[in-house]
Amino acid sequence: MKKLFIAGILSAFLLAGCGNSDPLGGQYYFGWAQIKLPNGEIVEGEVDAWNHGNENDRVRVTIDGIDYNTHFSNVCLFSEKPE
């Protein structure tokens, strides 16, 4: 019974790492993004800011002062510019 309780606590802690922050409450850093627009165009650039809600699969990324609000499947976020 004790092992089951400990396994449950560990599982809950590991699942807390999924999403916008790590288990200790820190934010992830993304410095570069590629965004696919509905017309097929790819916009990429340095990330000014980004945000996503906890209860949906949408993300808002700001590149060069322009906000792009889209689904996560249309965005690639990188810690630095890919080569």
Per-residue pLDDT of the chain (83 residues; tens, 9 = 90+): 677 667 666 555 555 444 444 555 556 788 899 999 999 999 999 999 988 877 788 899 999 999 999 999 999 999 888 88
pLDDT of residue 9: 60
Backbone φ, ψ for residue 9 (5° rounding): -65, -45
Phi, psi of 27 (to 5 degrees): -95, 150
Torsional sign, CA 55, 58, 59, 60: negative
Q: Give the neighbor-by-neighbor strand order of the sheet with 42-52.
A: 66-71, 58-63, 42-52, 32-36, 75-78
